[in-house]
Amino acid sequence: MSEFVIRKMTADDIPHVAAIEKELFTQPWSEQAFADELNNKSATILVAQAGGEIAGFADMREIMGECYINNIGVKALYRRKGIGRALMQALEDSATDEAEFITLEVRQSNEAAIRLYKSMGYIKVGTRRGFYEQPTEDADLMTKYLKRVVMK
């Protein structure tokens, strides 16, 4: 595998990211949705560039110390080459010092993604029943705590 670079998404990347989204998901975001997200000050959208093309992307929002990964996707050709892990790590690294945790949903049948998330310290904290459509499926809610949270 050739090397890859993780960088911030630009407007020029939107058609490529939307194409990956369409390849991977049954209810993909539109190009307009990615354009809107690119203009969202609370969002961080990263791409992985490999061999002159966009191989994957990841999108996270941080609001008041809470980070939420909206989406992550890697083209089939580039899977199992460390790109998903690198994108996740780059999102974590982009979180501010105020961030207490990062959370995400994942299809319960997506065993490869669940293994990756667990290996990076994410734990299952709940289930969202019927969260996904086409086909209908429950989601595992997974969270990684970035700071020790003290309950008073």
Active site residues: 105, 117
Tokens of 48: 């992985």
| CA dist 36 → 40, 44, 94, 100, 125 (Å) | 6, 12, 20, 26, 30
CA-based nearest residue to 79, from 110, 37, 120:
110
